[in-house]
Amino acid sequence: MNTKLARAIRVLIVDDQILAKGYLKYTMEELGFQQISYIDHADEALKLIKSEHFELVVCAYDLREEKEGYFLYEQLKAHKILPLTTAFVFISADTTAEIVHSIVELQPDEFLAKPFSVSELDKRLTRVLTRKQVLKDIYALMDQSDFNGALSELERFLTEPKNAEFFPLALRTKGELLLLCNRVEEAEDFYQAIINVQNFTWAQIGLVRCYLQLNKDDEAERLILRLAFQPDAMLSAYDLLTALQIKQQEFDDALESVNIAAHISPSNVGRHQQAVDLSKITRDYPAQFDAAKRVVRYAKHSFHDKPENYLNVARAGIDFAMTADASETAKLVKQTHDFIRQMKEAFPKAAVDNELKVIDARIYYLQDETDKARNLLSQLDGSEWEQENMDALMDRAKAFHEVGLQDHALAILDEIERRCNTSDEQSELFMHYLKQQKQEKREIADSPKMLNNIAVTQFQRGELDKALTTFRQAFTVMPKNAAIALNLLQTTAAEIRDNTARHTPENKQIIFKCMETLEAATLSEEQDKRYQRVKATISNFD
């Protein structure tokens, strides 16, 4: 370690383990560092970094709470609190695949596995601090969002042979800056030129991003699939595949991809939230409920933790219960109440009275107490809409629709749309979901809970046309529900059997979709027997 450099560096060590902190103090002083501050809480570290400048932060992955160090760095990056000129080094005794993926995903400047020697620490810190010093002018311009200026400075840097040792990092930074400057076609040529010389993973990932922006979807997909087989690129590949599938509105596939990525690196709360959003669009209520619970689990002890997470689990549980049988409904309602209790314990001062009234009203409706549900909803004042977020308003619209107040539900959805049109804060996924909900609530007056019961009654009365219409509506809002898929398949097959002219492309598509749901489901013995009989009938159509 360059002693002069070490003495000039201000260091912040964030670790709550006394022995580890003592060892770090000894090794850092041994290397010549003198300006060292010690903090054992993430909140205190955040305040200190906001108020003082450090050239180096060394942080433990786990502090007093699980992954608290991870969330500290995530917050520093997300809110651009830590300048690029400051080096951030993670240390951890846990080197499981999950931990490593989580840390690497955040791209700290270095990661050290405990225990480490003085010489290892010396080598790593020398490398990262030298790198920061050499590129500090470029990083300073990037911190000021002067990306064109940073790119010009980087081009100058790359012309000087003395900087050759740092060219790999500088070239990677150049690609990122080209994209930040919206010079996408130039970035594409740049990444391709790098790959022609050496097939760096970062260059391949950069090239995929260019392809996505340039609408070269086929090229993007081919390269993503190759990256998915590389261990160091797998996580990025599934994120990119999710983005491509969302762009192409292949939402079922996107949900599968984002869940794979979430399994690889579960600490990323945003990925679980994206799974929630995709589950809503695909109407995969069990997946929505599971993803919402993961948001709560992984957001704890972080800046992501908020009452809305728990409320969204309750809402997802009710959505799921609307499509479930009676025995499962009772379990889901119990879990919903449990998450509400957890929310009250974690956030006792949360102002969520209206949100809880809506949730209680939906539970009353689930329990066939519609009058009680309407009474609770009548206590809500429309003037309070402005104070409620999009998820709360969407839940309110569902509640009014469920108790038969369709016009009121549509008015709330109109208000959501008005807000979205005056703000760019909502994602494309949310806008797609809003459009889907408006169309659904306008065209289908009955709740998911009622539709299947109505259709079964119509079918038993011999009102085949009415039953078909209602089963189709039910399948529209519950496409993953095996019972509804089987009922619709059976009714459609009966219609075609009695009138071969009804073997239309539309009905063929319905049959395909129903069978797709049934093949993926776990059927009861009685359902499986019915399904085999219907399949035998369908096999005679062609």
Pairing of strands 87-92, 56-60: parallel
Predicted confidence (pLDDT) at residue 451 exceeds the cutoff of 90: no
Side chain identity, residue 417: E
Counting Cα atoms < 13 Å in the Cβ hemisphere of 276 gives 25
Predicted confidence (pLDDT) at residue 541 exceeds the cutoff of 80: no
**pLDDT, tens only, 354-392:** 999 999 999 999 898 999 999 999 988 766 677 789 999
Strand partners, 58: 13, 89
Tokens representing residue 114 in the block: 């405990």
State the burial class of residue 235 (Cβ atoms within 10 Å of its Cβ: 0-12, 13-18, 19+): buried
Tokens representing residue 159 in the block: 């012309």
Q: Between helices 201-213 and 184-197, what is the axis angle to 10°?
A: 150
Eight-state DSSP code of residue 502: G
d(CA 442, CA 7): 69
d(CA 368, CA 353): 23
**8 Å CB contact between 38 and 13:** yes
- pLDDT (average), residues 484-493: 89
Give the per-residue pLDDT at 65: 62
Q: Confidence band (pLDDT; 50, 70, 90) for 195?
A: very high
Say what the alpha-carbon torsion angle 149, 153, 155, 161 is, to the nearest 10 degrees: 180
Give the per-residue pLDDT at 384: 67
Q: Confidence band (pLDDT; 50, 70, 90) for 482?
A: confident
The more confident residue out of 427 and 514 is: 514
Question: What ranges make up the beta strands (E) of 369-441?
Answer: none
d(CA 71, CA 59): 11
Question: Which of the listed ranges 163-167, 189-193, 446-450 does the model predict with the highest average pLDDT?
Answer: 189-193
A 10 A CB-CB count for 445 gives 13
d(CA 233, CA 227): 6
Eight-state DSSP code of residue 456: H
Rg (CA), the chain: 28
Give the per-residue pLDDT at 3: 78
Predicted confidence (pLDDT) at residue 330 exceeds the cutoff of 80: yes
**pLDDT, tens only, 269-312:** 999 999 999 999 999 999 999 999 999 999 988 889 999 999 99
d(CA 170, CA 384): 52
Q: Confidence band (pLDDT; 50, 70, 90) for 92?
A: confident
Side chain identity, residue 206: G
**pLDDT, tens only, 200-240:** 999 999 999 999 999 999 999 999 999 999 988 999 999 99
d(CA 29, CA 16): 19
Bond into 115 cis (ω within 30): yes
- pLDDT (average), residues 138-146: 95
What phi and psi, each to the nearest 5 degrees, are found at residue 107?
A: 55, 60
d(CA 206, CA 178): 10
Give the per-residue pLDDT at 61: 82
Q: With residue 444 as reference, give the H or E element that holds it.
A: none
Strand partners, 112: 91
Counting Cα atoms < 13 Å in the Cβ hemisphere of 435 gives 8
d(CA 262, CA 75): 19
Predicted confidence (pLDDT) at residue 154 exceeds the cutoff of 60: yes
Eight-state DSSP code of residue 163: G
Predicted confidence (pLDDT) at residue 95 exceeds the cutoff of 90: no
Through-space distance between the first and last CA atoms of the chain, rounded to whole angstroms: 78
Give the per-residue pLDDT at 542: 66
- DSSP readout, 196-258? HH---HHHHHHHHHHHHHTT-HHHHHHHHHHHTTSTTTHHHHHHHHHHHHHHTT-HHHHHHHH
The more confident residue out of 16 and 264 is: 264
Domains and CATH numbers, the chain: 3-144 (3.40.50.2300), 159-248 (1.25.40), 448-539 (1.25.40)
Give the per-residue pLDDT at 39: 87
d(CA 478, CA 457): 18
Q: With residue 11 as reference, give the H or E element that holds it.
A: strand 10-14
DSSP helix, strand, coil percent of the chain (3-state; round to 5):
70, 5, 25
Tokens representing residue 57 in the block: 């932060």
- DSSP readout, 95-159? --HHHHHHHHHH--SEEEESS--HHHHHHHHHHHHHHHHHTHHHHHHHHTT-HHHHHHHHHHHHT
Q: Confidence band (pLDDT; 50, 70, 90) for 456?
A: confident
- Own/partner contacts of 144-148, CB < 8 Å, gap of 24 or more, are 147/177, 147/180, 147/181, 148/181
Quote the pTM value: 0.88
What phi and psi, each to the nearest 5 degrees, are found at residue 416?
A: -60, -45
**8 Å CB contact between 159 and 140:** no
d(CA 442, CA 401): 10
Give the per-residue pLDDT at 41: 84
